[in-house]
């Protein structure tokens, strides 16, 4: 046995992993210490899926470890610095999920602006027949949108929103080549310039609470925030306060702190679209992510170049 699988995988991925590697399966990094020492000593590669911290102390329980292959584009649960110090490579599964995540971000924003959940409830409850038309809401096309993080996924979101005749603004660590979109070196300036703010940052310590109270306040009472990155990238307490007091107009969120046990204040708000962290959650994309994860492990075990190395 050279491969260990950590995390909750679908039946399809579980079967594919079994066929390909005949691995040992455990639920989380906390179960490593319970494995027999000779089993841990034989592990060369780990297939990892989840948000529990995979840190240096966990890696030290696997003395022959050479690869952690992450299921997902975000790898903030893995201590890459600790892995690099131990000569352990890390891979992720980028690009194959860009379309699905971007599609959901646009769908959430459209749902928020056009009040699609509330309008559906109006019709389903019988109010449409008994009380008449649903209230007028807000035009979507032609607004001003700011993308926070114009990486692979951010660019896909921006391209989609440009088709809605949006005025495009963005923040990134450096100016990008775009079709004339407006670059903001200051994220607060970006928030002040737009109607809609879409957060597409990587997770991790460097972006924790990047979307600050100042940014939220700059967005203003008609502003809407979309987050498809990580719950850590927004100052969640400041966001909840602003939503509850009407200092911003609304939010559309696929990610939260402490998910799935999110702050119950969100459920009391009718100006928030809530999704259960399902940005990449289609059959096709999850299959592609699983295949890319397995391909990285196969390449490592065969001594071939990794397909999507992080470090």
Q: Check the CA dihedral 27-32-37-40 and report its sign.
A: positive
Element (H, E) at 217: helix 213-219
Catalytically annotated residue among 14, 114, 152, 277: 277
- Tell me the Cα Rg of the chain: 22
Q: For residues 216 and 241, is the Cβ–Cβ distance under 8 A?
A: no
Cis peptide bond prior to 249, omega within 30° of 0: no
Which stretches of the chain are DSSP H helices? 11-21, 37-41, 56-59, 80-85, 98-113, 116-124, 127-131, 152-162, 187-193, 213-219, 236-245, 283-301
**Rounded distance between C-alpha atoms, residue 59 and residue 95, angstroms:** 27
Catalytic residue among 169, 184, 230, 286: 230
User: Catalytic residue among 44, 127, 247, 259, which?
Assistant: 259
Per the annotation, the verdict on 277 as an active-site residue is: yes
Task: Find the length of the chain.
Answer: 311
- 114 C-beta neighbours (distance < 10 Å), count: 14
Q: Is 51 a catalytic residue?
A: no
Core vs surface per residue 4-41: b (16+ CB within 10 A) or e: bbbbebeeebeebbeebbebbebebbeebeebeeeebe
Nearest-angstrom CA–CA distance, 259 and 131:
38
Q: Would residue 294 show up in a list of annotated catalytic residues for this protein?
A: no
Enzyme catalytic residues = 230, 259, 277
């Amino acid at each position: 046995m050279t491969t260990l699988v950590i995390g909750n995988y679908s039946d399809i991925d579980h079967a594919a992993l079994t066929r390909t590697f005949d691995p040992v399966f455990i639920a989380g990094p906390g179960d490593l210490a319970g494995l027999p020492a000779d089993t841990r000593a034989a592990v060369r590669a780990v297939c990892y899926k989840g948000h529990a911290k995979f840190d240096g102390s966990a890696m030290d329980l696997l003395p022959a470890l050479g690869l952690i292959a992450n299921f997902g584009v975000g790898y903030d649960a893995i201590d890459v610095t600790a892995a690099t110090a131990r000569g352990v490579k890390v891979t992720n599964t980028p690009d194959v999920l860009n379309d699905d995540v971007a599609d959901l971000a646009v769908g959430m924003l459209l749902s928020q602006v056009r009040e699609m959940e509330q309008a559906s409830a109006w019709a389903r409850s019988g109010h449409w027949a008994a009380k008449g038309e649903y209230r007028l809401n807000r035009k979507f096309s032609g607004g001003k949108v700011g993308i926070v993080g114009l990486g692979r996924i951010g660019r896909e979101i921006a391209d989609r929103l440009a088709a809605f005749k949006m005025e495009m603004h963005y923040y990134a660590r450096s100016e990008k080549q775009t079709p004339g979109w407006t670059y903001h070196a200051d994220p607060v300036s970006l928030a002040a310039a737009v109607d809609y703010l879409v957060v597409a940052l990587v997770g991790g310590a460097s972006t924790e609470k990047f979307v600050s109270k100042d940014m939220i306040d700059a967005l203003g009472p008609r502003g809407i925030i979309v987050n498809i990155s990580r719950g850590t990238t927004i100052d969640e307490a400041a966001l909840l306060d602003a939503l509850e007091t009407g200092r911003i107009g609304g939010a559309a969120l696929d990610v939260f702190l402490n998910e799935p046990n999110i702050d119950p204040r969100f459920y009391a708000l009718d100006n928030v679209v809530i999704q259960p962290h399902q940005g990449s959650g289609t059959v096709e994309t999850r299959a592609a992510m699983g295949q890319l994860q397995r391909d990285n492990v196969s390449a490592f075990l065969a001594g071939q170049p990794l397909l999507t190395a992080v470090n």
